[in-house]
Amino acid sequence: MSIHQLGRSTFGDVINSGNLMTIEEANELLNDWVPNERLRLHMKQVGALMRTWAIEKENADDHTALKWELAGLLHDADWEKYPNDHCRVIIEELERRQIDPEVIHCIASHGPRYFGVEPLNNMDKMIYAFDELSGFIHAAALIRPTRYEGMDAKSIMKKLKTPSFAAQVNRDDITDALSRIDTPLEELITFVIKHQQSVQ
Ligand SMILES: [Fe+2]
């Protein structure tokens, strides 16, 4: 992967704190920037996981839940069209649109090894934890005749230990992300299975 470090650690402007966009506006951006339906689904899944986590675990109000969802929804928005500049392009677009700096920092820190930005708050840590795991679990669902139905966390944990399965998913990133939060892997997998299966 030819992803470059971002080379900076502050994003957006605090003057724009609280400035979000609607889900419709975010979806419009995705439709423009991301022709690949599978990648769009991935972002919608991570968006839904972020939103649900914020509400269920962080007691988030509507505005905060939207903030978490937007970060998930937009985190890979530039991946398809600008693979060599992944993250930088969407970050600059959100800065141009004067979006809340926490949303931008969250996106910038979703892969610390690649972008060189450390996850700081819970929103940052959860996008990092959900990103690879969500894709991995969806890959596992696609090869099951019944998809998500009857899927359990144990079978996913076993597949994570099988390097040949979904080999492109970096297990070290999952381990590193999990080391930064208090939720055990099995519990997080159960949450992902439960909440991303209905996302379309
Ligand atoms: Fe992603």
- What is residue 1's predicted lDDT score, i.e. its pLDDT? 44
Q: Is 147 left (phi over 0), alpha (psi -120 to 50) or beta?
A: left
Decide: helix, strand or coil at residue 9. coil
Q: Distance from the CA of 131 to the center of ligand 1, in angstroms?
A: 5
- What is residue 3's predicted lDDT score, i.e. its pLDDT? 60
Q: Is 121 left (phi over 0), alpha (psi -120 to 50) or beta?
A: beta
Q: Distance from the CA of 193 to the center of ligand 1, in angstroms?
A: 16
Q: Near ion ligand 1, which residues have CB within 5 Å? A: 76, 131
Helix-helix angle 37-58:185-196, to 10 degrees:
120
Q: Distance from the CA of 135 to the center of ligand 1, in angstroms?
A: 7
Q: Distance from the CA of 43 to the center of ligand 1, in angstroms?
A: 6
Q: Which domain holds residue 135?
A: 14-196
DSSP-H helix ranges across the chain: 23-33, 37-58, 62-74, 88-96, 101-108, 112-115, 122-142, 153-160, 171-179, 185-196
Q: Distance from the CA of 153 to the center of ligand 1, in angstroms?
A: 20
Find, among 19, 14, 16, 51, the residue nearest to 126 by Cα.
Answer: 51
Q: Distance from the CA of 37 to the center of ligand 1, in angstroms?
A: 13
- What is residue 2's predicted lDDT score, i.e. its pLDDT? 45
Using the CB atoms, write b or e for 34-53: b if 16+ within 10 Å.
Answer: beeeebbebbbbbbbbbbbb
Q: Using CA atoms, how far apart are residues 51 and 42, in angstroms rounded to an integer?
A: 14
Residue 7 lies in a domain: no
Domain total in the chain: 1
Q: Distance from the CA of 181 to the center of ligand 1, in angstroms?
A: 18
Q: Distance from the CA of 17 to the center of ligand 1, in angstroms?
A: 24
Q: What is the DSSP letter of 120?
A: -
Q: Distance from the CA of 177 to the center of ligand 1, in angstroms?
A: 13
Unique residue bearing structure tokens 């506006």: 25
Q: Distance from the CA of 42 to the center of ligand 1, in angstroms?
A: 7
Asked if 19 contacts 104 with a C-beta cutoff of 8 angstroms, the reply is no
- What is residue 4's predicted lDDT score, i.e. its pLDDT? 78
Task: Provide the residue-wise pLDDT of the chain in tens; the chain has 200 residues.
Answer: 446 799 999 999 999 999 999 999 999 999 999 999 999 999 999 999 999 999 999 999 999 999 999 999 999 999 999 999 999 999 999 999 999 999 999 999 999 999 999 999 999 999 999 999 999 999 999 999 999 999 999 999 999 999 999 999 999 999 999 999 999 999 999 999 999 999 99
> CATH number for the domain including 65?
1.10.3210
DSSP 33-50: H---HHHHHHHHHHHHHH
